[in-house]
Amino acid sequence: MRVSTAKMAELSVFTAVAFIFSYIESLIPLPIPFPGIKLGLANLVVVIVLYRQGVAAAFGVSMTRNVLNALTFGSVFGFVYSLAGSVLSLIVMAGMRRQIETKKHPRLTRVSVSAVGGIFHNMGQFVVAACLVGTDAIAHYLPFLYFAGLVAGILIGIMASLCLQRLPAPVMHPSSKS
Amino acid sequence: MPKQPEKRISGGRAASFFTKMDVFFLILLFLLGLAITAVIYLPRSFGAESAVRENERLLEVRREGEILMTLPLGEDTTQRVDCAGGYNVFSISEGRAVMEESDCHDGTCMRTGTVSGTGETIVCLPHRLVLKVVQADDEYPDGPDAVAR
């Protein structure tokens, strides 16, 4: 895959921002009694990159961010969880975005895409947890994860829309136009 | 400054990144979440309620991590357990368990008093003996805390 310098620079900056977001978030515990529920600010970056540079770029940023987390302040289990969540939510969001842009459901916006992404992010983590400790033991936790993902996804979607409106258009190298 | 092209604008406001269709879709997602909640919690809560009424609590006796016996809290009894370092005598009466005797050196187990609520324990650490009240239908003795963060 050929990547222009401008695109690579932009993706590097976004990766750094995502990395910093997850670090900051890991420092601030939420005052709620449910483990693992958070806003997921790093996913804001992933949504933005998904809309600016496409699926492959968003996937790259997301994976790099996950690996960096695991190597620095994360844990092995944390890595497996976030990897499952990131991959699943990205696949679903990319699929939805494509559906919307091919005018099959043209009235839905990024907020809906992000909401579904948030839900599936947590569903991915739930699947990993279910594989580790058994479905029965954590089934009661599923609704919490679902609604937390929904709320976080909506908030991330709104923030991403605001950011996308304000960010300058991505610099396109003449040879990389498609 | 160049902006991302906004394809549709509802109500003509600049910040309209949110359509009626989104609201409809999100309400749908919310209802789906309620449905999932109902599917998971309804059979569970009905089942649990009847189980609490019908099944008694049990006293689980563990020595060095292995379950020695599980006794119903509803039946009065006195049991003697021989441990590596000595012996313990505990009794159950009127649905409450208590450590009656122990030749351990600290006696904490006897000072613990009676236990009756699910999850309450009497521990005799020197003898590595644990008495724990459990629910008869407890599928997850370790509780939801066992879920990773």
Say whether A154 and B4 touch across the interface (CB within 8 A): no
Distance CA B127, CA B88 (A): 8
Distance CA B120, CA B40 (A): 27
* pLDDT confidence tier of residue B72, bands split at 50, 70 and 90: confident
CA nearest to B26 within chain A: A112
Say whether A36 and B149 touch across the interface (CB within 8 A): yes
Computed over every residue of chain A, the mean pLDDT equals: 86
Q: Chain B interface, mutation test: which of A80, A112, A119, most B Cβ atoms within 10 Å? A: A112
Q: Is the pLDDT of residue A63 over 90?
A: yes
Reduce the DSSP state of residue B94 to 3 states and report it: coil
CA nearest to A161 within chain B: B17
Distance CA A13, CA B95 (A): 64
Pairing label, strands B114-115, B121-124: unpaired
Say whether A129 and B148 touch across the interface (CB within 8 A): yes
Contacts of A1 (CB under 8 A, 6+ apart): A56
Say whether A35 and B30 touch across the interface (CB within 8 A): no
Distance CA A135, CA A101 (A): 36
- What's the confidence (pLDDT) of residue B34? 92
Distance CA B126, CA A39 (A): 46
Distance CA B104, CA B1 (A): 79
Please give the interface size between A and B, counted as residue pairs whose CB atoms are below 8 Å apart: 97
Contacts of A119 in chain B (CB under 8 A): 29
- What's the confidence (pLDDT) of residue B35? 92
Give how far B137 is from chain A: nearest CA, Å. 14
Pairing label, strands B66-72, B77-83: unpaired
With the C-alpha atoms ordered B76, B77, B83, B86, is the resulting torsion angle positive or negative?
positive
Residue recorded with tokens 């963060």:
B149
Q: Which two tokens stand for residue B16?
A: 């309209």
Say whether A146 and B36 touch across the interface (CB within 8 A): yes
Calculate ∠ Cα A123-A124-A127, nearest 5°.
85
Report, as an integer, the average pLDDT of A69-80. Answer: 84
Report, as an integer, the average pLDDT of B97-102. Answer: 89
Contacts of A111 in chain B (CB under 8 A): 17-18, 22, 26
Sheet containing B114-115: give its strands across.
B77-83, B86-93, B96-102, B114-115
Give how far B78 is from chain A: nearest CA, Å. 34
Q: Is the pLDDT of residue A56 over 80?
A: yes
Contacts of A151 in chain B (CB under 8 A): none
Angle formed by the axes of helices A41-53 and A5-27, to 10°?
Answer: 160
Q: Is the pLDDT of residue A106 over 60?
A: yes
Say whether A150 and B6 touch across the interface (CB within 8 A): no
CB nearest to B2's CB, from A51, A141, A168: A168
Distance CA B73, CA B115 (A): 10
pLDDT digits (tens, 9 = 90+) for A128-170: 888 887 776 678 788 889 999 999 999 999 999 999 988 888 7
Helical ranges in B3-142 per DSSP H: 20-54, 108-111
* Nearest residue to B69 via CA among B103, B48, B92, B50: B92
Q: Is the pLDDT of residue A3 over 50?
A: yes
Say whether A168 and B20 touch across the interface (CB within 8 A): no
Report, as an integer, the average pLDDT of B87-107. Answer: 87
Q: Is the pLDDT of residue A178 over 50?
A: no
* pLDDT confidence tier of residue A67, bands split at 50, 70 and 90: very high
* Nearest residue to A139 via CA among A130, A148, A147, A131: A130
Question: What residues form DSSP beta bridges with B82?
Answer: B87
To the nearest whole percent, how much of chain B has pLDDT over 70?
A: 72
C-beta of residue B106 within 8 angstroms of C-beta of residue B127: no
Give how far B56 is from chain A: nearest CA, Å. 22
Contacts of A108 in chain B (CB under 8 A): 19, 21-22, 25
* pLDDT confidence tier of residue B50, bands split at 50, 70 and 90: very low
Distance CA B60, CA B133 (A): 6
C-beta of residue A115 within 8 angstroms of C-beta of residue B15: no
* Nearest residue to B98 via CA among B85, B87, B107, B111: B111
Distance CA B54, CA B47 (A): 11
- What's the confidence (pLDDT) of residue B41? 81
Q: For residue A171, what is the DSSP state?
A: P
To the nearest whole percent, how much of chain B has pLDDT over 90?
A: 8
- What's the confidence (pLDDT) of residue A137? 67
- What's the confidence (pLDDT) of residue B45? 60
Distance CA B123, CA B108 (A): 8
Rg of chain B in Å (alpha carbons): 27
Distance CA B90, CA B118 (A): 18
pLDDT digits (tens, 9 = 90+) for B114-137: 888 877 888 888 888 888 888 776
Q: Is the pLDDT of residue B146 over 50?
A: no
